Amino acid sequence: MNPFQKISLLLVLTGLMIGFACSKAGKEAEWVNLMPGENLEGWTVLPIPPEGTLSDTLQWSMNTETGILRCSGKGGHDWLKYDQQEFADFIFHVEWRFEKIAEPAKYNSGVFVRNSADGKIWHQAQMGSESGGYLFGNSLIRGKIQRENTRDQIQTNPVKSAGEWNTFEITGQGNQIKLVVNDVPTTVWDDCEMLKGYIGLEAEGYAVEFRNLKIKAF
């Protein structure tokens, strides 16, 4: 083997080792608990859209005994932002349920990933009652903020009815965001130009509970 062949082989082996290490790191990444403290420590309430105003009524509360974070739905349109860090590549696990009400309702809320700090750019996994389960948002598309929606990808909707617990797992990896609802893959957002950002939860007029918020970053 001549010197050139040896160098080429060394480069190939180095590349394989780096790829294996990255893959192994992703698999071995540990879940990190993101549930707020009793006074919502680690999280901040912000208006969405950012030019909006916050209500005088704080609609978010954390019960550390039950492990349930509750949004009363009586404080207008805002989002609870995890403000400790941005995330690039991750799996975000969220369990949620709407509080069932007697009258007909268009239950509405969502889970945010890779948002800008002010919420002007946002990517949302839509929550509903036997509806939702897709990704949409105002994101960078060829450098400009535009609306994107993956609703047309829905084949069968695994979201349960109001009053029942659902699980979202949102994976961001490179340019792709994927949503799995109750262990069923639903939609994929390809070519996302926002490669990192903040995660959060939306309040939009309905009482909703969250539990077991955790993330695996890799």
**Where residue 200 sits, what CATH number does that domain have?**
2.60.120.560
Q: Are 70 and 63 in contact (CB under 8 A)?
A: yes
The predicted structure's pLDDT at residue 17: 54
Q: How many domains does the chain have?
A: 2
Pair 50, 83 in one domain: yes
Pair 73, 3 in one domain: no
pLDDT at 6 over 70: no
Pair 172, 205 in one domain: yes
The predicted structure's pLDDT at residue 19: 53
Q: Are 108 and 94 in contact (CB under 8 A)?
A: no
Q: Which DSSP category does 118 fall into?
A: T
Pair 1, 51 in one domain: no
Q: Which domain holds residue 64?
A: 31-217
Pair 98, 178 in one domain: yes
Distance CA 48, CA 202 (A): 9
Q: CA 57: distance to chain centroid?
A: 25
Pair 11, 88 in one domain: no
Q: Which of 108, 119, 126, 122 is nearest to 44 (CA)?
A: 119
Backbone angles phi, psi at 12, to 5 degrees: -60, -45
User: Could you read off the pLDDT of 148-170 as tens digits, one per residue?
Assistant: 999 999 998 999 999 999 999 99
